[in-house]
Amino acid sequence: MSVSSSAVFISRIRGLPVLDARGDQTGRVRDVVIQLRTQGRAPRVKGLVVELFARRRIFVPMVRVHAIDASQVVIEGQVDTRRFSKREAETLVIDELFDRAVPRPEGRRAAIYDVSMRPTRAREWEVDDVALRELPAAGRFALGKRGATTIVEWREIPNLVLNSKQVNDHLLAQMADMRPADVARELHDMSADRRAEVIEALDDDQLADALEELPEDEQVEVLSALDHERAADILEEMNPDDAADLIKELPAEMAEDLLQRMEPEEAADVRGLMIYADLTAGGMMTPEPVVLGPDATVAEALARVRDEELTPALASMVFICRPPLDTPSGRFLGMVHTQRLLREAPSLMVSGMVDDSLEPLGPHSGLAEVSRYFATYNLVVAPVVNDENQLVGAVAVDDLVDHMLPEDWRGTQMDGEDEVSRA
């Protein structure tokens, strides 16, 4: 079964039973959550408000909606059962739009009595049409008489179109839920003035994440437009390898000024990476992998890889070294796969499960050698060790792929994106 390929009027799913993948009823549909969007795009349908049997209402994102038909809604996957709380930039269709009066041409008035939504691509929906019922003119009585009905496009309803004063607040609220690549795409599509306004309002960590996803020339443009104090703060929030790549593209005087303004420890990591050529293991690596001493326990290792700030690649492996444990570390002993940690007792020491059979990469290993290394050993992260047998960093597979693609791949991807995929 799959979701309908045609529009669905929201009044027709109100109260429908919501079934899980096993066919058990979890609750009933009580409302639909939408979010207004910029650049003339239809409001996005974020999900359903479902009332459980305990009268608690929860939010079910549309990505969890597997099927909608005339008698039921089927959901799949794990659903968050925390009580639903509407966010500032969200609108409840039934509670907030149904029966709302809207102006019509020639001074007439009408009220919204239904809204339709349609799928745009896999598991994503947007508002389509709005059904209106004409209201009697002021001063006239129409007791028991129903006004004429009409169907209009969503853009004819003022409540579904952002005005200029609302745009910034709504866009920033939207961006809070976006992946960094989607935030970067929004910034890429904006005019220079508009982009400057939004960048000013973004948090440093969110801007740093988005900056890493922009084409290189736009990264330089954005960073150069910031005052140097904030630019240094943004660089501190970026992954050290991405920050090093970006600083290399800046004018030498500006680059040195920003490095001077950064926290000494952060600047030291970046300077350490800048000595290596771009297409080498040293140029691609991060100096912040998970490093533990040989007396660490499995429990301690698993606690470290649970850190939500780690990428999945970096969380797949812990590297075992003699102190000091910051890179460049003491003598490199080997590595332990997270899968192995999951199979062992929490109290065991990691030194008893070290894999020292793989020769690590050197910081000057070229792109071809690094690629062969990953392909040969089926890894997603690899250690980089210097001539003194110190761990200096680790190359993650995402950084390898980034350097294997053409230099302008980010810009090409954004410019070639069609309207459907941007919706």
Domain identity same for 310 and 265: no
Q: Which residue segment(s) compose the domain that 228 sits in?
A: 178-275
pLDDT at residue 374 in the model: 92
Q: What is the pLDDT of residues 26-79, one digit of tens each?
A: 999 999 999 887 667 788 898 999 999 878 999 998 888 989 999 999 998 877
pLDDT at 168 over 70: no
Residue 396 belongs to some domain of the structure: yes
Most confident listed range (178-182, 265-269, 342-346, 397-401): 342-346
Q: Pick the residue with more confidence: 4 or 333? A: 333
Domain identity same for 143 and 230: no
For the segment 408-412, the average pLDDT, to the nearest whole number, is 53
Last residue of a domain, one of 110, 128, 159: 159
Domain identity same for 7 and 155: yes
> Among residues 303, 307, 296, 287, which one has the least CA distance to residue 384?
287
Question: CA-based angle 354:359:364, to the nearest 5?
Answer: 130
Residue 412 belongs to some domain of the structure: no
Last residue of a domain, one of 132, 159, 186: 159
Q: What is the pLDDT of residues 330-339, one digit of tens each?
A: 999 999 999 9
226 CB neighbour count, 10 Å cutoff? 17
pLDDT at 81 over 50: yes
pTM of this prediction exceeds 0.85: no
Query: For residue 143, what is the domain's CATH number?
Result: 2.30.30.240
Residue 318 belongs to some domain of the structure: yes
Query: For residue 385, what is the domain's CATH number?
Result: 3.10.580.10
pLDDT at residue 387 in the model: 95
Domain identity same for 356 and 226: no
Alpha carbon distance 65, 61 (integer Å): 7
> Among residues 70, 75, 71, 72, which one has the least CA distance to residue 60?
75
pLDDT at residue 395 in the model: 96
Domain identity same for 10 and 51: yes
Residue 280 belongs to some domain of the structure: no
Residue 185 belongs to some domain of the structure: yes
Report the chain's mean pLDDT, rounded to a whole number. Answer: 86
pLDDT at 275 over 60: yes
Domain identity same for 308 and 375: yes
Domain identity same for 358 and 209: no
pLDDT at 416 over 70: no
Percent of the chain with pLDDT over 70: 88
Lowest mean pLDDT among 14-23, 79-88, 139-148, 164-173: 139-148
pLDDT at 18 over 90: yes
pLDDT at 421 over 50: no
| pLDDT band per the 50, 70, 90 thresholds, residue 353 | very high
pLDDT at 146 over 70: no
pLDDT at residue 138 in the model: 57
282 by Cβ neighbours in 10 Å (0-12 / 13-18 / 19+) ranks as: buried
Domain identity same for 34 and 153: yes
**How many domains does the chain contain in total?**
3
pLDDT at 282 over 70: yes
Q: Which amino acid is at 256?
A: E
Q: What is the pLDDT of residues 82-141, one digit of tens each?
A: 899 887 678 999 999 999 999 888 778 899 999 999 998 767 899 999 999 998 765 454
pLDDT at residue 328 in the model: 94
Alpha carbon distance 6, 121 (integer Å): 12
